[in-house]
Structure 1
Amino acid sequence: ICTLFTGQTSKEGIFMKYSYEYKKECVQLYREGIWPKTPAGTNEKTFRKSIRLWVRLEELHGPEILKHGNNINWNPEQKLEIVSKVLTGNSIKSVAIEAGINPGQLHSWLSKYKIYGYNGLVNKKKGRKSDKETMNQRNKSKPKELNESEREELIRLRAENEYIKAENEVIKKEIALRENNYAAQLKAKKQQSSKNSKKKDTN
């Protein structure tokens, strides 16, 4: 039976803060074909969805992702690069699993980005700001904001390039398929022509 968990539900209602040992045990039971007992006060469907997600994360990133996956200190550029993949048409779930974070976390980044732009992805210091920090924030120069915007544009363009590359790969596959089909048709015609010539010779 799985033990060691805390019952704090995430904003998206998909992930709860379970211990590393608990996640590992749940994943192991799942691989053995056993569903762990759903914790009290937790929706069974949601809980099982979480387990399947842990399994996929572990398969892609190894068991350590279950320990620190949500505690990685992502910088704003990394966050924007991940968010941009969603903005170019990929699903939140697939991008989150690829990055090794939970979909709720990515959904939060996406919402902040849509409201505040790049600044919404900047990690804010915990605790009350000092008067000096407040003054420095107010006195931020215009060029610094411009640099952030340029950085944001660069990362956005990278994401768009990835999307274009993916489209090009699809086009290449379609062209290769057409060429193969054309070659097969030519081969069939040659074979038919050869059969017809043999028939004429026998006649």
Structure 2
Amino acid sequence: MTKHTFEEKLDIVSQVKKGKPILRISRELHIREGMILEWVRKYDLYGESGLLKQPNVRATADFKEEVVRTVLEKGVPLVQVVLQYGVSKSALEDWVRLVRVHGYAVLHQQKYRERPPKDMSRSKKHEPETELEKLQAENARLRAEIALLKKVTALVKEREARERMSGQKPSKN
């Protein structure tokens, strides 16, 4: 989704106001007709300030209920409610759909987003304190090192055996 500057929106609205068809502007600039129409409506309702980016507002349950009641009970068209309350059309459609299925109570239910615990990093390594713990830690590290060397040796021998079977000389790497 491309963001359009205030100047671009104002220029497009002025073209519409001068009588240029929205469909032609839409095709020339590759912008949805609905978007242009929304800009024109905002301009008509709020003037140039309607074309400025609006801050995101966190909708409370009461606000959502008021907006949905405006649509469902008063029969105000969605487009008009979107302009009047400054909510996104998709959010309003979601709220209306939820209320039609589950009733107004669904708007007041808390929706907790699952967030991962703050500390997702690896656990801090326990520093050995006593001499015994230090020796045990070193012993474990050496065992892991030996196991790794055994695996590498086995892989090298396996590769050399395969090369002998295919008639190639083993590489010196």
State TM-score, norm by structure 1. Answer: 0.42
Write 1 or 2 for the structure with the bigger share of helix: 1
Between Structure 1 and Structure 2, whose CA radius of gyration is higher?
2
State TM-score, norm by structure 2. Answer: 0.48
